[in-house]
Structure 1
Amino acid sequence: MGERGLISRILCPKFGGYLTFGTMEPGKVSAPGQPTIKDLVDLYNFRHIRPDTKVFGIIGKPVGHSKSPILYNQCFKSDGFNGVYVPFLVDDVQNFFATYSSPDFAGFSCTIPHKEAALQCSDEVDPVAKSIGAVNCIIKRPNDGKLMGYNTDYTGAITAIENSLTGTNFTEVKGSSPLAGKLFVVIGAGGAGKALAYGAKEKGARVVIANRTYERARELGDIVGGDAISLHDLESFCPEDNMILANTTSIGMHPKVDETPVPKHVLKHYSLVFDAVYTPKMTRLLKEAEQEGAIIVNGLEMFIGQAYEQYERFTGLPAPKEQFRKILGEQ
Structure 2
Amino acid sequence: MDSGNVLLASGSMGGGGGGAQLKNPTLICVPIMADTVDEMLVKVGQAKSASADLVEIRLDYLRSFVDPRGDLAALVNGSSLPTLFTYRPRWEGGQYEGDESKRLDALKLAMDLGADYIDVELQVAGDFIGSLHGSRPSKCKVIVSSHNYECTPSVEDLGDLVARIQATGADIVKIATTALDITDVARMFQIMVHSQVPFIGLVMGERGLISRVLCAKFGGYLTFGILESGVVSAPGQPLVKDLLDLYNFRQISADTKVFGIIGRPVGHSKSPVLYNEAFKSAGFNGVYVHLLVDDLARFLQTYSSPDFAGFSCTIPHKEDAVKCCDEVDPVAKSIGAVNCIVRRESDGKLFGFNTDYVGAISAIEEGLQASGNGSSSLSGSPLAGKLFVVIGAGGAGKALAYGAKEKGAKVVIANRTYDRAKELADTIGGEAISLADLENFHPETGMILANTTSIGMHPKVEETPVPKHALKHYALVFDAVYTPKITRLLKEAEESGAATVSGLEMFIGQAYDQFERFTGLPAPKELFRKTMSKY
**TM-score between the two structures when normalised by the length of structure 1:** 0.99
Which residue of 1 is the match for residue 471 of structure 2? 267
Separation (CA, whole Å) in 1 of partners of 2:241 and 2:411: 46
- Paired residue secondary structure (1:166): helix
- Paired residue secondary structure (1:31): coil
Which residue of 2 is the match for residue 279 of structure 1? 483
Separation (CA, whole Å) in 2 of partners of 1:40 and 1:181: 49
Which residue of 1 is the match for residue 421 of structure 2? 217
Kindly provide the CA deviation profile for residues 137-164 of structure 1, in whole angstroms up to 9, marking residues without a partner as x.
0000111101100000000000000011
Opposite residue 356 of structure 2, the aligned amino acid is D
1:49 maps onto 2:252 in alignment: yes
Which residue of 1 is the match for residue 360 of structure 2? 157
Closer, same or farther: CA 169–103 of 1 in aligned 2, 3 Å: closer
Matched-pair contact (CA < 8 Å) for 2:259–2:309: yes
1:122 maps onto 2:325 in alignment: yes
Question: Structure 1 residue aligned with 2:440, among 232, 236, 246?
Answer: 236
Question: Structure 1 residue aligned with 2:392, among 150, 175, 188?
Answer: 188
Which residue of 1 is the match for residue 449 of structure 2? 245
Kindly provide the CA deviation profile for residues 89-109 of structure 1, in whole angstroms up to 9, marking residues without a partner as x.
001101111111111100000
Separation (CA, whole Å) in 1 of partners of 2:374 and 2:329: 33
Q: CA deviation at 1:27?
A: 1.4
Question: Structure 1 residue aligned with 2:340, among 137, 157, 161?
Answer: 137
Matched-pair contact (CA < 8 Å) for 2:379–2:407: no
Closer, same or farther: CA 70–170 of 1 in aligned 2, 3 Å: closer
**Ranges in structure 2 where 5+ consecutive residues have no aligned partner:** 1-203
Q: CA deviation at 1:173?
A: 2.3
Which residue of 2 is the match for residue 91 of structure 1? 294
Closer, same or farther: CA 172–213 of 1 in aligned 2, 3 Å: same
- Paired residue secondary structure (1:217): helix
Percent identity between matched residues is 77
Separation (CA, whole Å) in 2 of partners of 1:106 and 1:117: 19
* Structure label with greater radius of gyration: 2
Q: CA deviation at 1:23?
A: 1.2
Separation (CA, whole Å) in 2 of partners of 1:160 and 1:120: 28
**Ranges in structure 1 where 5+ consecutive residues have no aligned partner:** none
- Paired residue secondary structure (1:160): helix
Separation (CA, whole Å) in 2 of partners of 1:281 and 1:84: 25
Which residue of 2 is the match for residue 208 of structure 1? 412
- Paired residue secondary structure (1:14): helix
Separation (CA, whole Å) in 2 of partners of 1:100 and 1:48: 22
Aligned-residue Cα RMSD (Å) equals: 0.8
Show structure 1 runs of 4+ deviating over 6 A: none
Separation (CA, whole Å) in 1 of partners of 2:285 and 2:279: 7
Separation (CA, whole Å) in 2 of partners of 1:26 and 1:169: 45
Separation (CA, whole Å) in 1 of partners of 2:374 and 2:363: 16
1:76 maps onto 2:279 in alignment: yes
1:24 maps onto 2:222 in alignment: no
1:318 maps onto 2:522 in alignment: yes
Which residue of 1 is the match for residue 185 of structure 2? none
1:11 maps onto 2:252 in alignment: no
Matched-pair contact (CA < 8 Å) for 2:373–2:475: no
Paired residues in the alignment total 331
Matched-pair contact (CA < 8 Å) for 2:379–2:408: no
Q: CA deviation at 1:169?
A: 4.1
Say which is worse superposed, 219-228 or 16-25, in terms of deviation: 16-25
Separation (CA, whole Å) in 1 of partners of 2:375 and 2:314: 35
Separation (CA, whole Å) in 2 of partners of 1:81 and 1:170: 39
1:146 maps onto 2:349 in alignment: yes
Separation (CA, whole Å) in 2 of partners of 1:253 and 1:173: 35
